[in-house]
Amino acid sequence: MTARQQAHLTVHPLFDIGEIDQRIFGSFVEHMGRCVYSGVFEPAHPTADSAGFRGDVTALVRELGVGLVRYPGGNFVSGYDWRDGVGPVGDRPTRLDLAWRSLEPNTVGIDEFLPWARRNGLEPMMAVNLGTAGPKEAAELVEYCNLAEGTATARERAANGHPTPHAVRTWCLGNEMDGPWQIGHTTAAEYGRRAAEAGKAMRLVDPGIELVACGSSFRHMPTFGAWEDTVAELTLDVADYMSMHAYYDGTADRRDYLASGQRLERFIRDVVATCDAVSARLGSSRRMMISLDEWNVWSSAAASSPVGEGQDHEISHAPRITEDPYQALDAVVLGDLIIGILNHADRVKIGCLSLLVNVSAPILTEPGGGASKQAIFHPFAAAAHTARGRALSTRLTAPAFRTPSHGDVLQVAAAVTHDPATGQAAVFATNRGSEPVELTIDHSAFGAFDLKSAHTLTAADPRSPGDLGLVPLDRIHPGARTSTLLLPPESWTLAEAVTRS
């Protein structure tokens, strides 16, 4: 009989990474495909509220645990005039959106989206157009959203039915400006200067806002690293965050796909190191945080590419773009990515699962019909509702996991969160391998660590994607000093405990 594989995890209440910002459990609404129209917004739907937003979708967003939503793009924002989406809806123009070759009626704009977000407890994260627009337009948008009174722009917002400012705190300085597909694509030096000037103007309107500079569109861009270095140097005085975008392809080799969490952690470390090197070189005490404001897995059920999708269809309104079904394997990998995010809670303060509805999303809708959960809904919701307080630095030993493209990675990944105020703790663990692994958790540094429950999802789950969800883990052995979990093959597990230090 082959000995069971073993992994060992040590947790300690003083092994602290940092406070978990609940904005890491954010999402993203872009005017792309059916994300907005017949996604979050469908006035004729039986569940629609008085503003036209679908009540069934809103309920699922609440269940998902989303706390922040980025808007309105994405590639869309680089050709977008925000003034098209304010004022009387009947007077708004229909435009050709060049990013996704779609007809945009501007029925939904900032005066519709921001109140919807606020009504549902979602912090908005707005992006400004630095592709075909610049600092003047960006500052005017901040003025429209945030200035209480006294200017023509603030009076315009009030006349449009919003006398109280929208009070948007967090702003993206453009989107993916390193990408040749982006309207207004430019060099790092030119983008850095443009972003610094826009940020300066925006802060002169509202000094209390925080700003996100564009990092590389993905890790394998040919300018990656050099782009971050230049942009960080030019924007360090105004930008609080460097953005990261990360998508992992489910149609790749299965073992490479299962190693996605390790790849994300390396990506985060590389961006942090680059930004910190710039701070050191400039003698600055400022440290840029990370805004992972686009991340997801691409469905293992369909070939997908994060760039340029949806541009080969006939021009139409709200076309069906990348509405791929997610499988149980995708849910396991997405859970593993969440572990990577939690393990860098000291620097990753914002995260946006891309997108929220219909387009590579945890929620699917049908016009006039129902709204349903995709497989990736479940690990995100489980983590969003349980990862509280602080992330703890773990000491983990586990067998090696051989991948074709990324060498050896640990077969087990883990993250631990602990809320000292309530005593609640959570252990998140992925088994990336094809054999079970017995995970021993050494929690002897706690006065008590009462392991209450453990739930898991596996890539081999035979249920249909719409029925997937975490199920109780059979093999769980709580103990006074150590506890053990038997992690199924290719699985993601959440264990919850009540502690006393």
Active site residues: 176, 294
CA dihedral 39, 40, 42, 46 (to 10 degrees): 100
Pairwise CA distance, residues 304 & 288, whole Å: 32
- List of E strands, 123-202: 123-128, 170-173
Rounded to the nearest 10 degrees, how much is the dihedral formed by the CA atoms of 393, 399, 400, 403? -100
What is the residue whose two structure tokens read 């269940």? Answer: 63
Structural element, H or E, at residue 144: helix 135-146
DSSP string for 327-375: -HHHHHHHHHHHHHHHTTTTTEEEEEEE-SBSSS-SEEE-TTS-EEE-T
Calpha distance 375→389 (Å, rounded):
26
d(CA 334, CA 295): 9
CA–CA distance from 435 to each of 105, 263, 297 (Å)?
A: 52, 21, 23
Rounded-to-integer distance, Cα 416 and Cα 338, Å = 11
Contacts of 314 (CB under 8 A, 6+ apart): none
Instruction: Return d(Cα 322, Cα 306) in angstroms, integer.
Output: 10
Q: Is the CB of residue 279 less than 8 Å from the CB of residue 240?
A: no
Tokens matching residue 483: 């506890």
- 324 token code pair: 């791929």
From the CB of residue 124, how many other CB atoms can be counted at a distance below 10 Å?
24
